[in-house]
Structure 1
């Protein structure tokens, strides 16, 4: 009897481990195309492929309806053009009531991303913190405290990124990001960060090898890193530490590789990148070794309505007919 119980215990623990690894990776729902499947068909595709997390860039009610009772975890985005209106507390309450409360608990909203890649010098920059605070207050008032409120940054806010331990926010970004980090610390929220080794590689080919960007480099470099993804992520962790965010977790809210349209963009490289990232996300980084790394691949489909550069249109994992562009195992 005890042997059987032991075997059951081993099976349960190994199943739990696999589930945790699989669930560390989600996919962003890029919908900027005029040839894409219906919202319901897209959610059905997520389910059929075992993809347990989705990022929506705006509160698309068709997608939210399709996500009901799917058990798929959601990053729900506040679009950048809505930020200014949400500096009004009543407008933020109305937004939460309409797009969050109305769908909870049938839709598993995990995070709300208040804006995406807002730069310190952009017109929306002054709206981010008050919008964060107002959405957080509305979430708390609605007894939805399990939902974490954050914003998604890109890596242009990092002034120095190498070696990763010296990572620091730029002087221009520092005044913008510090109060946001204080907000995240106060509310136990993660920072959402869009991490693209592809762009770092393309913009610095004299110093960065393709193998380092694709997770295929053998051995560590002089500062102990085997891949560019970890180096970028740890530089953001180091920057967070320097502004009082040592305990803030990073969720990688976008990462991808294009299949055509520019330097290094090919089906082969993209297949390698996505496949290796899915495996890698089950572990950690040198600075934060205890994984998994919650990561959202960009994106579900190629987006034919995106403007130049051409690569922007070719980050999709699936073709518009829902056939896979790459052989990837999400679970």
Structure 2
């Protein structure tokens, strides 16, 4: 499914909000969406994060003003290498060195992950550059002594790369030739796979089989029982995530962790896109992630809500402009969310 993100027609440059709460070990995260002509300054955005207890952010491209404003804030970030840089960085170690020197070294204390590309598919011309770019970015980090547990290198995928996802235990990757080098890199370097998870799109694309309550975390009982392992699912988010875990297992990487690098629900512009539904989804996601999934029960999920603001310059479907948790004047759209 198409998901808001900085690649192709979905999200872009400086992110959107990703908010997931990893309460004891992980901060609540929200993507910083800046594709608007009416949004607060980067410093005011950082202040808004801090005042709401949001301790992590995703930036979909380096933004020097935002990176400067983050210094000393205590907010950790996912920083993306945009798609238009993948081929040069993947083919030229010097280009990777320069990118890291300009965008990572001065701000290293704020950076937790580097996402090398967002929602790149095997059919995209940049596909063959993703894993080499990941390696070259890691080499550049190594040369600056920014390795170990400090900064992890990964890439963000969407769940259209997963097929046979019902029941969740049947999940597998659609193109092993593309994903295998990436998974091998993650395994060698103890890095998580970043995954953009959008029950909204799964629901609107298959309403005949998926109930709204299942997508919004409001089902009162089990909706799906996985006939392979007996695991029971009460919400679609868990089912999607466990399908990705199953695919990783089939690819020989069952212990690779997943970070949900985007998740959200639009408040306008499309089917079931209402303020009530979006608020329900965001509140329930925040309270749910500490529980883990049926396959990874009790293992807190690190996730990022999409997004901090509505973005009136966002291209694509009308829903793309309505994923914000806050209005342009910094007021909460869904009431006070308890990020911490």
Alpha-carbon distance in structure 1 between the residues aligned to 2:248 and 2:72: 36
2:248 pairs, out of 229, 234, 240, with 240
1:244 CA displacement: 1.4
Larger radius of gyration: 1
Q: Report the alpha carbon displacement of residue 23 of structure 1 after superposing the two structures with TM.
A: 3.9
Please report the TM-score for the alignment, with normalisation by the length of structure 2: 0.89
1:132-166 Cα distance to aligned partner (Å, 9 max, x none): 00001111121111200000000010121110011
Question: 1:330 aligns to what?
Answer: 339
1:89-133 per-position Cα deviation (integer Å, ceiling 9, x unaligned): 01101111111112233xx20000000000110011011011000
Q: Which residue is equivalent to 2:167?
A: 163
Give the equivalent residue in structure 1 for 2:313: 305
Q: What is the CA deviation profile of residues 170-206 of structure 1, one whole-angstrom value per residue up to 9, with x for unaligned ones?
A: 1xx2210011000000000000000000000000000
Partner-residue secondary structure (3-state), 1:254: strand
Q: Summarize the alignment of residues 110-189 of structure 1 with structure 2, pairs less than 5 Å apart.
A: 110-145=112-147, 146-170=150-174, 173-189=175-191
Stretches of structure 1 that go unaligned for 5 or more consecutive residues are: 1-17
Query: What residue in structure 2 maps to residue 52 of structure 1?
Result: 55
Measured on the aligned residues, the alpha-carbon RMSD in Å equals: 1.3
TM-score, normalization by structure 1: 0.92
Residues 221-232 of structure 1 mapped to structure 2, 5 A cutoff: 221-223=224-226, 224-232=232-240
- Within 2, Cα distance between the matches of 1:211 and 1:235? 20
Aligned counterpart in structure 1 of residue 286 of structure 2, from 278, 282, 285: 278
Decide whether the 8 Å contact of 2:216 with 2:280 is kept in 1. yes
Distance 1:121 1:241 in 2: 24
Consecutive unaligned residues of structure 2, counting only runs of 5 or more, are 1-20, 227-231
Q: Which structure has more helix as a fraction of its residues? A: 1
Conservation of the 8 A alpha-carbon contact between 1:158 and 1:236:
yes
Cα pair distance change 1:204/1:19, threshold 3 Å: closer
